């Protein structure tokens, strides 16, 4: 089983915010592969299905961003997975310009509190991640307001394209094409 987890915050208030880019990719994957993501368990909304011949569970933690690791560690224990091979985490990234993607096999949280909590709860930084550029703050702007805010129209258009490419990248990662996915998607747009 491969777990694909999109990070975000539950509730209509956070819909289409920068921080919910991961949730939006899960929605795209669910639609593309006809996977119903409506069941609730392990502090998450989830659905199981098949992508490129591999069994997957699509997960949206309901713990709010900063506690995402609580839900994902429960899923990792439930399936007895090796996070390095069987966990893909999708998150926003303020260090990347809107529309850019960065795929990595492992690494630090890079200041992202959701990733920091996942690393802490799993006890490892060894898991695949797809980071989606949402752009940084302007001088004097508040970071929390920024990530919980919505993008300008021109940046949202770039993000929509990135969300679709992130879903395609996840399908490649499920198939074990990590290097190919990094070569294809780790390019500035």
Active centre residues (catalytic): 19
| The residue to which tokens 């006809």 are assigned | 34
CA dihedral of residues 4, 167, 188, 83 (deg, nearest 10): 10
Paired tokens of 149: 């805010």
| 128 vs 87: CA distance, rounded Å | 6
What's the chain's length in residues? 189
| 35 vs 58: CA distance, rounded Å | 8
């Amino acid at each position: 089983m491969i777990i694909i987890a999109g990070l975000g915050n539950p509730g209509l208030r956070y819909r289409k915010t920068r921080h919910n880019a991961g949730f939006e990719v899960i929605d795209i994957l669910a639609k593309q592969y006809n996977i119903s993501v409506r069941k609730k368990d392990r502090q998450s909304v989830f659905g199981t299905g098949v992508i490129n011949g591999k069994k997957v569970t699509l997960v949206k933690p309901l713990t709010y961003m900063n506690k995402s690791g609580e839900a994902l560690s429960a899923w990792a224990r439930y399936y007895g997975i090796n996070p390095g091979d069987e966990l893909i985490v999708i998150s926003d990234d303020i260090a990347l310009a809107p529309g850019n993607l960065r795929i990595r096999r492992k690494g630090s949280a890079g200041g992202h509190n959701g990733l920091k909590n996942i690393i802490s709860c799993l006890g490892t930084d060894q898991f695949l991640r797809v980071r989606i550029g949402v752009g940084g703050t302007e001088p004097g702007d508040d970071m929390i307001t920024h990530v919980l805010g919505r993008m300008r129209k021109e940046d949202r258009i770039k993000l929509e394209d990135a969300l679709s490419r992130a879903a395609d990248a996840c399908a490649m990662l499920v198939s074990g094409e990590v290097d190919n996915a990094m070569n294809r998607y780790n390019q500035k747009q």
